[in-house]
Chain A
Amino acid sequence: NAGVTQTPKFQVLKTGQSMTLQCAQDMNHNSMYWYRQDPGMGLRLIYYSASEGTTDKGEVPNGYNVSRLNKREFSLRLESAAPSQTSVYFCASSEENGQSYEQYFGPGTRLTVT
């Protein structure tokens, strides 16, 4: 049981390049999330998916797109990277039924855009 996995762990991009961050969970959770973490800003929600087939914008969606490929996988795409997107990105998942109020986080992807 791996929990939430993310790839890659580190990435350096040049301004204007594109890339996709991958996330997968093996806990059969319905809900998945993408956050970014910046110094002094805490975690900010980029996009989320309450269930397979649905996605919604969070607090800071500009410059990003997401795909909920299936129940397990939720990817985050940067179409044209900018230095302001330098950050640590976390994927998370949670159960649907509300009996457990816990979000499970992946180890993060550290992205630098030069």
Chain B
Amino acid sequence: GDSVTQMEGPVTLSEEAFLTINCTYTATGYPSLFWYVQYPGEGLQLLLKATKADDKGSNKGFEATYRKETTSFHLEKGSVQVSDSAVYFCALGPMNTGFQKLVFGTGTRLLVSP
């Protein structure tokens, strides 16, 4: 079945460092790919998405590119802030259908220190 593999955390960085969180997937067909973020004590919220190969999703300085050849969707940010400390989830879902049954990775905790 479909699955998502994320790098284990926690990822610990100093403010203004470069961030990469790896995500690879296994799926039939051509899924949509997502990054969700969970801040402490809150539910998940969508950070960015890409719906087809070579698409780049971006939001709040974060970027991820849908790479079909490597089945990857790595999350990057050029300069992290303390406020980016959260758990990040990679997810995949069916393409262009009304019903979104997502498959989530296990999450990667990011800790950013001043």
Interface residues of A (CB under 8 A from B): 4, 30-31, 40-45, 48, 50, 58, 90, 92, 94-98, 101-108
Which residues does chain B contribute within 8 Å of A98, judged by CB atoms? 96-98, 100
Q: How large is the interface on B (under 10, 10 to 19, 20 to 34, 35 or more residues)?
A: 20 to 34
Known pairs A42-B106, A101-B34, A108-B42 / 19 extra A-B pairs, C-beta < 8 Å: A4-B43, A30-B98, A41-B106, A42-B89, A42-B105, A43-B44, A43-B89, A43-B104, A45-B102, A50-B99, A90-B43, A96-B98, A97-B98, A98-B96, A101-B32, A101-B93, A103-B44, A105-B45, A107-B41
* A4 and B45 alpha carbons, distance in the complex (Å): 12
Q: In the complex the two chains form, is B107's CB within 8 Å of A42's CB?
A: yes
* A97 and B102 alpha carbons, distance in the complex (Å): 15
Q: In the complex the two chains form, is A101's CB within 8 Å of B43's CB?
A: no
Which residue of chain A lies nearest to B46 when distances are taken between CB atoms in the complex? A102
Say yes or no: is B49 at the interface (Cβ < 8 Å to chain A).
yes
Q: In the complex the two chains form, is B49's CB within 8 Å of A101's CB?
A: yes
* A45 and B89 alpha carbons, distance in the complex (Å): 14
Which residue of chain B lies nearest to A99 when distances are taken between CB atoms in the complex? B98
Q: In the complex the two chains form, is B100's CB within 8 Å of A31's CB?
A: yes
Which residues does chain A contribute within 8 Å of B96, judged by CB atoms? 98
Say yes or no: is B101 at the interface (Cβ < 8 Å to chain A).
yes
Q: In the complex the two chains form, is A105's CB within 8 Å of B43's CB?
A: yes
Say yes or no: is B81 at the interface (Cβ < 8 Å to chain A).
no
Q: In the complex the two chains form, is B44's CB within 8 Å of A90's CB?
A: yes
Q: 20 A-B contacts, Cβ less than 8 Å apart?
A: A30-B98, A40-B106, A41-B106, A42-B89, A43-B44, A43-B89, A45-B101, A48-B101, A58-B101, A90-B43, A90-B44, A96-B98, A96-B99, A98-B97, A98-B98, A101-B32, A101-B51, A103-B102, A106-B43, A108-B43
* A4 and B106 alpha carbons, distance in the complex (Å): 23
Which residue of chain A lies nearest to B34 when distances are taken between CB atoms in the complex? A101
